[in-house]
Amino acid sequence: MSEELQFDSAEPASGSAAAGATCANCTRPIADLYYENGARTFCADCTHRIGDALAPRFEAGRFVRAALFGLGGAVGGAAVYFGVLALTGYEVGLIAILAGFMVGWTVHRGAGGKTGRSYQVLAVALTYLAIGGTYMSFVLKELRDEPRPAASVAADTAAPSAPQPGPVRAVAMLVGLTLAMPVIYIYGGFPGTLISALIMFFALRQAWTMTRAPVVTFNGPYRIAATGAA
């Protein structure tokens, strides 16, 4: 039966590999025990090393570096997405997926090629933030460009100025609105925004897929057929 990177003690069975078989990784001759991955054979040492390398392991320094790289990808993706949306007035699905690709690629690059669930969550969160930032920027642009009636401007001038929130509170409000904006946009215009929801889903899926850990399955252990069964 196939087991995913499980190397517990087991009674080795006689395999199909004959004497003189070599490891597909280190190319050294296999004297006794070996594992199989598809049609390839691996010695026990290489099998365990590959399993250790692919095992999910959280490393704070690597994760922070991936987050910084991914944040740069999110800003770049949001800028491209906003530019197309502002110029055309339409959401182009490929551009949204490009934003997810940019985040996924930069997170993967910042992690040094390491993948796993923590990097998947990071990539999806940054992609969502990029989409929210795009919507938020577009709304702010529309509010800035919308002409205001003269009476409203005069009333604002005559009224006493309201106390302004502190910088921390202002940043917290901006982040909260940015995170809520995709939900507000999709929910407020549904079902007309169904296409936008699908575009968002595919962008998030792109980031999730690019940082997914590969599944490598080894069968074994087996003994070289010429040595006899255990």
Evaluate if residue 72 carries a pLDDT over 60. Answer: yes
80, 47: one domain: no
Domain for residue 161, yes or no?
yes
Whether omega before 191 lies within 30 degrees of 0, making that bond cis, reads: yes
For residue 36, the cross-strand partners are 41, 219
191, 95: one domain: yes
Residues 6+ apart with CB under 8 A from 47: 7, 35, 218, 220
Domain for residue 130, yes or no?
yes
Domain for residue 7, yes or no?
no
Domain for residue 108, yes or no?
yes
pLDDT number for residue 90? 65
- Per-residue pLDDT, averaged over 15-28, amounts to 79
33, 88: one domain: no
pLDDT number for residue 3? 45
Query: 134: closest CA among 80, 197, 59?
Result: 80
Q: Which of 18-22, 136-140, 144-148 has the lowest mean pLDDT?
A: 144-148
25, 44: one domain: yes
Evaluate if residue 119 carries a pLDDT over 90. Answer: yes
31, 129: one domain: no
pLDDT number for residue 229? 39
- Per-residue pLDDT, averaged over 62-70, amounts to 94
- Per-residue pLDDT, averaged over 183-196, amounts to 83
pLDDT number for residue 12? 57
Task: Give 69 or 51, the one with higher predicted confidence.
Answer: 69
Domain for residue 5, yes or no?
no
50, 134: one domain: no
Task: Give 50 or 6, the one with higher predicted confidence.
Answer: 50
Q: Nearest 5°: CA angle at 155, between 152 and 160?
A: 135
Q: How confident is the model at residue 163 (pLDDT cuts 50, 70, 90)?
A: low
45, 105: one domain: no
20, 93: one domain: no
φ and ψ at residue 228, rounded to 5 degrees = 90, 165
Domain for residue 125, yes or no?
yes
pLDDT number for residue 204? 93
| Neighbouring C-beta atoms of residue 63, cutoff 10 Å | 18
114, 192: one domain: yes
Percentage of residues in the chain having pLDDT higher than 70: 75
- Per-residue pLDDT, averaged over 58-67, amounts to 90
Query: Structurally, how many domains does the chain consist of?
Result: 2
Q: Which domain holds residue 29?
A: 13-55+215-227
Domain for residue 101, yes or no?
yes
Domain for residue 4, yes or no?
no
Task: Give 107 or 77, the one with higher predicted confidence.
Answer: 107
132, 46: one domain: no
Evaluate if residue 53 carries a pLDDT over 70. Answer: yes
70, 116: one domain: yes
Evaluate if residue 179 carries a pLDDT over 90. Answer: no
131, 195: one domain: yes
Q: How far is CA 182 from CA 4, 187, 195, in A?
A: 38, 8, 13
Q: How confident is the model at residue 78 (pLDDT cuts 50, 70, 90)?
A: confident
Evaluate if residue 158 carries a pLDDT over 70. Answer: no
